[in-house]
Structure formats: structure tokens, C-alpha cells
Structure 1
Amino acid sequence: MASQTDVINGICHHSQPDPLAVPVAVGNPISRSRCPSENSAPGPSQEIGLDIINSLPDEILELLLSHLSPYRDYKNAMLVCKRWHRIIQGVRVQELERFHLGVQEGHLRWHIMQTKTSPTVTDRYSHCACYHRKLLYVFGGCASTCTTFNDLWCLNLSRGEWIRPLTSGVYPSPTACATLVSHNDQLILFGGWCHPTPNTFYQSSKVFNQLHSFDTITNKWSRILCPVMPQGKAGHGATVLHDMMIVFGGYHGQTSCSNQIWVYHIVESNWTKMEIEGAKPVPRYGHTQVLLGDSAILIVGGFGGPNKQLNDMWLLNIGNEAWSWHRIDVINIQNAAPQLWCHPGCLVGDKIVVVSKNLRITRAAIQSQKEAKPPVPRTVWIPPKEDAAAPQHDHRLCGYKAHAKRAYPETSESSSQESSSDNDDVGGAGAGMMASLPRSPRMVALQKSVGRSLAQGKLSMERVDRDGTSGSRPGMPSVRPNAMRNRQKQLETLKYYESKLKQTMNNKEKAAAANEEDLCSCIQPHARQNPMYVHVLDVSRVVRDRKATWLQTHDQIDSCTPEETIFHSLVQGRGELIMFGGVQMDLSSMQKGLHSTPKQVSNIVHFIRPKRSVRS
């Protein structure tokens, strides 16, 4: 019997040679074979291998061909014979159905593209990406050094290599948060935002309304100028329907955003602003915008400004009649993906996939850790109880009545001696508070100073209580400057320690909250603090019933699962999702004012593929 290498050699001999094609998926033992050249004659082993393949049942041959690359090898295999052409068509349908079923049931697996020695794209986030004719195009974005790009890269999904096309024409400005869509053989780029430099004297932030098109055949950029242009936008949504590019929302700068709809007619090359009556979504940017069928656009989430994270959904009905907005009822909101404004979504069949961390699983794990961990006792200052020597309320002394332990002479000499003594044994609540504080040398000196002030104030009140006179007004407390100054010192001291106590309690609360966030590091495997989960939104009933359902999130954590990443791109390829770039950052920790690790900008390509029931 011929080996697997001979079988593949027979396949490649009867197909058209393609130097860019990858025969089979990585991990299959038959992937080590190479196709012979076009002029080489088939050997005896190749003829025997081809006869053996033709004698296999359709089920076995279908299983073998399902391991081919869907980007280039399907086309080559369909040219072998009519039987292979028929089987490959069935394999395409089955692989697509398996991908949709994996998204619905959560049977997905993360993969990382193996980098090669060829030139690679720079780390970036807030870029725009588009899948067009078996290539992934990436434009612009920001770097961690306050730099904005205007370069164009394409990822050859057959070879797993990055290619920077040699382009010409009028280049776009460096932009981030722009939109890139495909129409026929053109890529249309609109809007964007330029990152400011650390020194705004050289470059400040700017929002663009530039419109460019890129010809994928000639690799040429063209600037499109129209008499009527919309306002500069960033973080908006763009969808191509027939010969129209429909743009909704966007950031205009200075914390302002829009809920307007602009339509760019690609053939006529002009803009039209659509006016819609009735209820409409609030202004936003950073939302997900997908096309449902040929007559509806769904808007999911977004950001409406400071402290305005949105998770609502609106349906834009596009028909022959007037356009209209409809609010969508969201079911199972507890399963929704958090922070939809910085995690883009991608439409897969009748499902929208959003990749982000799972707050529900994280909170449940933190709660279980808190229940298993015994409570830590806290040291809290308790004020002392009042005793007989403590001042009590009395209207004659502005709210206090003194109780003397012994009689004091009325001479000023004895008063000055008593007030200048370093006696710390001063009764009352003030003395109890001072005794409960730490006994550092600096604190001891401060306690003595406060004790002298309390003793002097106590002496003055005892004299008033005994004589009932003070100066020329009987029955009133002393209003001498010395007594008022001592009382002011007492109030200032009490306010000082009150503020110190509040500050200490606030620091303890922040430390406890930070410990809760750190518990995530021991919850997930592979030392993942905030792993990303695949959240699925079912939109099959949106057009008919105006309802969308968040499905239950499944655990897909493995060795290739990335950490929480925001401002990445997510597009659909052939039977897989492609995630590129982004910045690893946990926004929830930043919003709570807790400690977070420095942001790490990425240029890694992740693939989300369905799990196979039969291991290759």
C-alpha cells in the first residue's frame, strides 16, 4: 500500500501548481510532503497512490480533504476530477456548518499564528481591518509611544505571512479608529482620529472626514472629494449595502458624539444625510454595526461620553419606504459581554460574536474565594467612655460644664503654673483619644502640647463654674484671648486626627478592593488573570420579533487564550474568526482607581476555530 506522502504527491500532480499554497493543515503528518514540479512525470508510486485514493469511499475521502486549507487548497483539489469537485463542495458546506455550530454551542478553540522571519507588522491598537479575497487588510492604528500610523498591511492567510504592498497615489493621513470596508475590488477608508504627541506644540489631536479608496488590483490610493461632506468622525460604524456605504454615529472631538446617519453613494460619489423621525438611539461611538439581510442594520452598545457605557440595541429598518429606528429587547442581559464600546463584534451567520472577559465568572470566583478565606480582623479605634471628669452639656458654658477635682486659686500665677505643666493625666474624651494614639517621640510631644491646652481650658472653665463671673459680666464664660486661643487649638487638633482617621480607613478599603481583584490571578489556569471569553448574541429574531438573546458563555480557556485585550480587530475568515492587535488592559480596574499593569500593545494574530470531533 502506498504511503500518505505518495497520496498527496498524486493529488498535487493532477492539480495546478501553486507556490503559495499550503497543502494541509499544520499538525498533519502528510503536511511534510511537497508537490512535484509541473514538468516532472508521475512515478509508479504516485500512480498507485492515486488509484488507492480513487478506491476509497466518499466518507473517507471527505474526511481526508477536510484537513486542507480552505483558502487555496480547495480550489486546487476541485480541479483533479469531477468526484473531487463534488466532494470539496460538500466539505465547504460542512466546514461552514461546523463553524456556526461551534459558535452556537461554544465548541471553539484558540490558535496563535506562528510568526516567521519575514517582516511583521508593528504593534498597534485602534486600527481598522477588513477581510477581502482571502487576505486580511490592516490600516493605521496607534502605538504605545503616542504614534499614529498610515501604513497598509495585508496578511496572506495561506502562507501565514505579513506583506506590505508597494502602494502609490494620495496616501491617507495617519489615523486611528477609522473604518475600512470592501466593495468589489476596492477598499474604502473613512474618518479617523490622530493621536496627539506628548508635546502638543508639534501635533495635537484631530478628527478627520477624509475619504479614500484603495484599488487592490493596482495598489493605488485615491482621495475622494465631494461637495458635501459629513463632519469629522472617529469610532463610527460603516456598512456596505449594495452600492451604498451607511455611516452611523461617531466621535467629533471635545467629548461630543453624534447619532446622525450619512450615506455615501459609491457609484455617484456623493454624500446624503438621512433624516429619520421618531425615537432614535442616543449619540454614541465605539459601537458594533452589522448588516442583517438586505434591509436592516443592527447597532449594539457603544459609548455616549463620560460614564455613559451603553449596552442597548437598535435596529435600522432600510426599505423602499422611509427609514425607521426600532429598539430591540435584550434577553439574558446577565450573559452580555462587558464594555461593548472597546470590544468589537463580528457577525457569524445569525450570531454576533464578542470576545472579552467574563464578569459573571470572575465575580463568582471572587465570591467563592472570599467565602473560603477567613475574615481578616481590622484594628479600629474605639473612643473612650465618658467618666465623671468628662465635660458635660450645659447652656451656661456654651455647651460644656466643667467638674473640678480640686480648687484652684484665682491668682494668675497659679493658672500659669498649671497651664505650663507637662502633666499628661488630663481627664475627658480628649485625653482618652490622645492615649489611644501611637506613642512615638513626635506624638508624645504633641500629646503633651494638647494636654497643656486641655488643662488650661479646663482651668478656665472651673474658675467660671466656681465664681460664676468673668470680668464685668457675671455668669458668662471667660472671653480672654488666651482661653479662646487654647480652645481653637483643641478644635484644630481634633479635626486633624479626624482627617487622619478617615484617610487611614479609605486606604484600607482601597487595599481590600485591590486584594479582590488580585484573586483573579489564582482562579484561571495558565496564570491568566483576565482571560478572554467568547460571548455570543443570537440575532435570529431581531428582524421578525425585535428580540436579541445573549447565550450562555462557555469555558474555552486553553494555553492560547489571550489576556483581556481592548481596541483589537475581529473579522471573519473562512470557517474561523481572526483577531489581531489590541492593547492588554483591564478597564474595570482603571475605572475603580485600582492598580493595573502597564499596557502592552500586541501584534499577535489569534484564530478562533471550531473543535474537531476526530483528532488529526
Structure 2
Amino acid sequence: MSTQGDECLLDRLPDEVLEFILSNVSPYLELQNCSLVCKRWRELVKSVRRRIKYNFMQAIVEFNTRWIEIPEVHHYVLTIAKRHSHSACCHENSMYIFGGCTSTSSTYNDLWKLDLTKRLWVRPLTMGTYPTPKACASMVCYKGKLILYGGWSFPSPYPLHQAYTLFNELHEYCIDTNRWTALNTMTAPPSIAGHSATIHGSKMVVFGGMQKVSQSNFERSNRVWVYDFETNDWYHQPTSEIKPKPRFGHTQIKLSDTHLLIIGGGRQYPVVFDDVWLLDMSCENPKKEWVWSQIEVIGKYLPNKAWCNSSVKVGHYVVTFAENIHATTLPISKKNFKLGSNIWVPPREDEIPVDGPAPKRVPMARDRDVNVNGRRGVLQRRNISSSSEESDAENPTLNQPRPSISNLHARPGVSAIAQNPSRPQAQHNRLRNRERQMETLRRMEALYKNKNPSARKPVEVPKPKSTRNTMAMYVLDISEVLTHKRATWLPPKVPSEPSYAPESTVLYSLVLGMNELIMFGGVEKDDQELNNYENTACSHLRIVSAPKDII
């Protein structure tokens, strides 16, 4: 492309402009490909990554994030179904989802991959030994493989009164070969669900959960089990006497290869925990026990009932999303806003002021095009006053307003009769019928007010609530956990712009991508009503990131 002999090339742009352009590229595969163009672009991509990471950390600390809901594809495209209590894991440029529950008391065993670059769902053609359909299982990534353990499923409808089924299955999914493999071990922990797992070196550490102790008895656990990838075996790890209470549905955060953090959880609703525990796995004591330490929690801005919400580690912070219980006014969702339209929606009859002056009509621009369907225009309203008047004369009891005199004077049919003096005799008869009706209604209204003095007071119409049960971000500062054994819930700040947070959702999945958080699925209802969540599971895909920069 040339203009008067001067070529307009992308490389001639200043570094600031080119860096701004690269910052709008997907931070996954596309930005990686841009770094392979030339040496200058590679340095600019490094600068873009540093700036995006800094902006994301600042957005977390300042509570100034933006929500982006990825729209669903067309109905004829195969996509992931609605679910909750599923397993999620992020590997390179993809997020993987396994299993989960439906709103009809059934479970899945399908595996889905989300291409984070294109924001599209893909179902891999897997082979091998498939896991059992289940939910509340743990899934972590280890050396290019997804490790799936535990879980539970609903009982079969027949015979009746069966207990839930818990599993102690251990499967691995190889991403390169698309193959499931069942890992059989000599020893195994009890069947478990609602637990947590993290990778530390060549070991997977599992804590808590709901265990099956007999055919129909379940108990909450606070034991620590370790799976060694090198020996392909399980063993129970002894810990100190001071330890967290048995729980399930908690959050497990990896701090290092020798430390992990346990946050929240529940025992039996409504008994929930908001404590924080640190597990030291360095084994410096003579008994070779791992040591538990309770962390001092500072701040009152913690989430309510965090046992059903996922959390992720972002730098020195733990981020979770739950119902906004600290704000008095909440922003309206962005999807409720509509662009300007040429269509005028008339108000309801009870909203029209009777005693006040009539509003002035603004003359509209005349559109001389007859075919208004192909361009902007306004359809003319058909004159139906004569037909409505004749129907009123034949059946005066139809289309009558409430017993109020003011409403009778405001009816458009009366003014239409006065403005159209055609057929004088018929109109005179109709006017006499209307006068008789009005006199009868006046008498009925006076009689009704005399018998019911309270009816004289105008009925107050409740105003619609301006607040929504939206989600809020909660941030736990864990920078002093290892040094001072304390953590702080940061007080929320009012962002400069509304974040358009979605409706309150529980039992969702939350993973950390490239300087963004990916939330999927869940139940769009308060956790107090989880026993009645019919048709409330969702498949919404939401991205939480920092606001975009401008030049």
C-alpha cells in the first residue's frame, strides 16, 4: 500500500503504537506467534506480557476487574452441556472440563477442551478406559497428563432408597495421545469425593473430603493421602495432633513444594468453616510428621459460605467469587442494556398522569418511502376507533376500566367520538349509553368508598428493586503466611467503572489462565436453595481480566 510514493508499513509505527496493537492480541498462541516475527517484535511481546501481568495484578488488588461473558455458539454446533460440581484444569493454551452434575440428578463422564485462543469448545475423541460418570472429583495436571481421582454419582432410581456412590478410581489422561488409562495400585485410600489435591514434586497430596466407611455410612475426613508417581502407590501420611477439623468442599492452594494452604470448607450444612491452615511437608521433626499450623485471619471482608465456591492463587493472593454481601447497591448487568431504538413503548394505563398537563408530542420526520421494511421508517397506526365504538355500543360491559372516574375521562374512545361527528344519531345514542354507564359507576364508587374507608387511600405500588444478587470478588493476602502465619482479607474498593458482575453462582469452576480467570458452569441460585436446583445449572463461560488500556 502506498500513498504519494510513501509506503505505510507496520514496522514504521512507533514502539508505543505497535505495543498497543499487540496488547489486543490473544495472550495465548497468537501472541506467541507474534514473538516469532522478528527480534523487535519479540522484545515488544515481552514488554506486553510484563505490562499485562502488572495490570492484572493491579486490577486484583484494586478490585477493578471486568467481566466478559463468551456468547454461546449456534444450536447446531456441538457444545458443552450445562453442569455443576465438575472438574477443571488448565494446561498451556487450553482448559479441560470433566464430568459434573446435571439438574436432573445425573452425572457425566465426558471430557471437553476449551481453546483459550479462539474461545471455542472442542470434544476430544478419547480412547482407552473411560472413568465412571461422576462429579466432585479432583483433576490436576502432571507432565502433560490430567490426573483424575475420586468423585461421586447419584444412585440409580431402582431399587429405591439407595445411597450415593463414591469412588476411589485413579485415572490419567494423556493429552498427546487422547487416551484414558486406569492406574491400578496395591493400596488405595477409601472412596472419597469433595476432596482437594495439588502436585508437589513427584507426589499428589490429597486432603479431606467425604469418605465412605461402610455400605451406607459416610464421614468427613481430615486425613492426608499421598500418591507417588514414581512408585505408583498410595500411602497415608501422618500429621501433627493439631489439625483442621474434618471437612469437604474446601480450597487447597500450593505455596511451594513443601507447603500448602487449606481454606474454608464445610462439614454438614449449615456448619461451614472460614479458617485457614498451613501444612508444612518439610519433615524436619523426628517423627517425620507433617505439621499443621492454623493461620491468623485478619479482616472481616470474607465470602459468605465459601464451601461451594472455587478459589485460585494469583501471585501472593487467593481470589474467589461469591455473593456480594457487603455492598448496598449493585451494578446492573451489561446484558440488560440495549442500544437505542426507534421503537417507542407506550406506558401502562395506570402510569399515565391524569391531572397533570398532557405531554407535548414531538413531530417525527416524515418518511416518504412506502416500503419501510427495507429501511428506517414508521408504520402508520390503523384507525380502529369506529370498530371499537361499535363493539362498545353492542356490549357495554366489555373493555371497561376499573371503577374510577378519572380513568373514564382519560379513555381514548370518548375523545375519538367527540372528534369524529359522523353519523350523528348513532353517536348520540352511544353518548347517552356512556353517560348512563358513568353515572352508574359513580354511584358504585361512592357506595364502595362509604363502606370501606380504607379504600380512599391510594394503593402504593411497590417499586422494583434496583439491586441484583450479583457476585463479588474476595481477595485473601497470603504474602505473610510463611513468615508471620497470618493472612488478610482485603477490603473491597469501589471500581472506577462498573464491572457488570453476573448473577450469584455456586459450584462453578475457576482456573487461572494467561493473566485472566476463567469461570465456567455452576448453579445460578443461592446455596441455601441447593436442594431445589431444578433447571438452574448453567454453561456460562466468563472471563475476568483487567480493564483494557488506551493510548
What TM-score, normalized by structure 2, do the two folds share? 0.70
SS at match of 2:193: coil
How far apart are residue 89 of structure 1 and its match? Answer: 1.1
Name the residue aligned to 2:270: 307
Q: Separation in 1 of the partners of 2:330 and 2:123?
A: 45
Match of 1:607 among 540, 543, 546: 543
How far apart are residue 598 of structure 1 and its match? Answer: 5.6
Q: Separation in 2 of the partners of 1:364 and 1:135?
A: 33
How far apart are residue 363 of structure 1 and its match? Answer: 10
1:575-594 equivalence runs, <5 A = 575-588=515-528
Tell me, which stretches of 5 or more residues in structure 2 are unaligned? 332-461
Which amino acid is 1:612 matched to?
A: K
Q: Are 2:492 and 1:553 aligned?
A: yes
Could you report, residue by residue, the CA deviation over 1:255-298 in whole angstroms, capped at 9, with x for unpaired residues? 51100001111122111111012310000000000101332100
* Structure with higher RCO (Cα < 8 A, 6+ apart): 2
Q: Are 2:510 and 1:570 aligned?
A: yes
Judge conservation of contact 1:179–1:189 (CA < 8 Å) in 2: yes
Which has a greater percent of strand?
A: 2
The 1:357–1:554 alpha-carbon spacing in structure 2 relative to 1, beyond 3 Å, is farther
How far apart are residue 174 of structure 1 and its match? Answer: 0.6
Judge conservation of contact 2:207–2:225 (CA < 8 Å) in 1: yes
Which amino acid is 2:54 matched to?
A: E
Paired positions, count = 410
What TM-score, normalized by structure 1, do the two folds share? 0.63
How far apart are residue 358 of structure 1 and its match? Answer: 2.0
Name the residue aligned to 2:87: 128
Name the residue aligned to 2:432: none
Judge conservation of contact 1:126–1:582 (CA < 8 Å) in 2: yes
SS at match of 1:582: coil
Match of 1:536 among 471, 475, 488: 475
Q: Are 2:289 and 1:335 aligned?
A: no
Judge conservation of contact 1:176–1:195 (CA < 8 Å) in 2: no
Identity %: 37
Judge conservation of contact 1:114–1:160 (CA < 8 Å) in 2: no
The 1:185–1:286 alpha-carbon spacing in structure 2 relative to 1, beyond 3 Å, is same
Judge conservation of contact 1:115–1:161 (CA < 8 Å) in 2: no
Q: Are 2:308 and 1:345 aligned?
A: no
Name the residue aligned to 2:225: 262
Name the residue aligned to 2:465: 522
Name the residue aligned to 2:238: 275
SS at match of 2:239: coil
Q: Are 2:171 and 1:215 aligned?
A: no
How far apart are residue 344 of structure 1 and its match? Answer: 1.1
Which amino acid is 1:336 matched to?
A: L
How far apart are residue 84 of structure 1 and its match? Answer: 0.7
Name the residue aligned to 1:56: 13
Name the residue aligned to 1:325: 292
1:21-420 equivalence runs, <5 A = 48-50=7-9, 53-117=10-74, 118-201=77-160, 204-253=163-212, 254-321=217-284, 322=288, 323-332=290-299, 334-361=300-327
How far apart are residue 98 of structure 1 and its match? Answer: 1.1
SS at match of 1:60: helix
Could you report, residue by residue, the CA deviation over 1:438-492 in whole angstroms, capped at 9, with x for unpaired residues? xxxxxxxxxxxxxxxxxxxxxxxxxxxxxxxxxxxxxxxxxxxxxxxxxxxxxxx
Q: Separation in 1 of the partners of 2:297 and 2:329?
A: 22
1:410-489 equivalence runs, <5 A = none
The 1:224–1:250 alpha-carbon spacing in structure 2 relative to 1, beyond 3 Å, is same
Q: Separation in 2 of the partners of 1:99 and 1:521?
A: 36
Judge conservation of contact 1:296–1:317 (CA < 8 Å) in 2: yes
SS at match of 1:141: strand
Q: Separation in 2 of the partners of 1:607 and 1:176?
A: 23
How far apart are residue 558 of structure 1 and its match? Answer: 5.1
Could you report, residue by residue, the CA deviation over 1:170-191 in whole angstroms, capped at 9, with x for unpaired residues? 0000110000100111000000
How far apart are residue 305 of structure 1 and its match? Answer: 2.1
Q: Separation in 2 of the partners of 1:597 and 1:268?
A: 43
Judge conservation of contact 1:115–1:160 (CA < 8 Å) in 2: no
